Amino acid sequence: MISYDNFWKTLKDKNISQYRLTVYYGISNSQISRIKKGAHITTATLDNLCSILDCRVEDIITFVPNEPVSNTLFDAVAEQPSSAYKEDNKH
């Protein structure tokens, strides 16, 4: 999962408001909204924000690992006989 907590800290440290991002730098309200919701943004937006804020990617986003995925689904698939994967070509 991507966290935008660093983005808000960087904005505060650089003394740049959301209003200024939208009005003076052309960042759309929808992009700000996506960041608020923790939704995905494009690398182009990320690049633009890094340029505007004169910062590194790490100053905007952080990767936070999700809970480990259970292997039970993968184990169940691995235990299937090889015949389970063959296509039936009889018509």
Mean predicted lDDT score pLDDT of the chain:
85
Please tell me the predicted confidence (pLDDT) of residue 36. 96
Please tell me the predicted confidence (pLDDT) of residue 69. 59
Residue 67 pLDDT level (bands cut at 50, 70, 90):
confident
Strand-pair partners of 63: 2
Q: Which residue ranges form the domains of the chain, and what is each CATH number?
A: 2-63 (1.10.260.40)
Tell me which residue of 59, 67, 43 sits closest to 10, measured CA to CA. 59
pLDDT at 45 exceeding the cut of 80: yes
Please tell me the predicted confidence (pLDDT) of residue 7. 97
What's the token pair of residue 68?
């480990």
pTM for the structure as a whole: 0.70
pLDDT at 88 exceeding the cut of 60: no
Compute the average pLDDT of residues 67-88.
59
What's the token pair of residue 20?
């200024």
35 Cβ partners below 8 Å, 6+ apart? 4, 7, 41
pLDDT at 84 exceeding the cut of 80: no
15: left (phi over 0), alpha (psi -120 to 50) or beta: left
Asked whether 62 and 5 are in contact (CB, 8 A), the reply is: yes
